[in-house]
Amino acid sequence: MATRQEIMREIDNLNKTIEDTNLRKEEALLNLGILVYQKVREGLLENDEIDRICEPIIGFDHVIYDSKVKIHNHKKQLEGIKCSCGANLNPEDRFCGTCGKKVELPVDNIEYITCERCLSDIDRTSTFCPCCGIKLFKLDLNKK
């Protein structure tokens, strides 16, 4: 018959096994979830229940995407604009301090559409939404 101490050690070992196995299970479930979400984003898996679960994740993707776009725009703004003579300009400059040329800000000529899934503004010529990854042939391309 095992002693009380041996039984307690065995219980501790079993609890450690359970804890380690649960961690590996959680990692496997996370990897499965990521794979399923990628398949949903690629349009390869369609299921109403899974779509409902993915809906808030798509919202999270939208927030992350918009924040990254804003960071990129802020960084561009901090870098300033370059004059054709090579001088660095500030966004508020109207004329170049080096050559005197009038500052002309670049115009954004990109035509945008709104993604039906995540509501991001995306370049009309894109094949996939850069935010949620949906194939754009599923979108109404006449929609603004």
Question: Which residues face 106 on adjacent strands?
Answer: none
What pLDDT, on a 0 to 100 scale, did the predictor assign at position 139? 41
Tokens of 144: 């603004």
Residue 131, in any domain of the structure? yes
Residue 118 is part of which domain span? 107-144
Residue 49, in any domain of the structure? no
What is the count of structural domains for the chain? Answer: 1
Q: Which of 2-16, 29-43, 73-87, 106-120 has the highest mean pLDDT?
A: 2-16
Q: What pLDDT, in 10s, does the model give residues 25-54?
A: 999 999 999 999 988 887 788 899 998 998
Q: What pLDDT, in 10s, does the model give residues 91-140?
A: 778 888 999 998 876 666 778 888 887 888 888 888 888 888 777 764 44
What's the number of CA atoms in the CB half-sphere (13 Å) around residue 89? 21
Residue 113, in any domain of the structure? yes
Residue 93, in any domain of the structure? no
How many Å apart are CA 62 and CA 70, to the nearest integer?
A: 12
Residue 5, in any domain of the structure? no
Taking phi first (over 0 means left), then psi (-120 to 50 degrees means alpha), and beta for anything else, what does residue 104 get? beta
Give the ranges where 42-113 is alpha helix by DSSP (H). Answer: 48-79
Q: Which run of H or of E encompasses 31?
A: helix 4-41
Residue 33, in any domain of the structure? no
Residue 141, in any domain of the structure? yes
Residue 118, in any domain of the structure? yes
Q: Of 137, 119, 138, 113, give the one whose Cα is nearest residue 55.
A: 119
What pLDDT, on a 0 to 100 scale, did the predictor assign at position 138? 44
Q: What is the mean pLDDT of residues 5-20?
A: 97
How many Å apart are CA 70 and CA 67, to the nearest integer?
A: 5
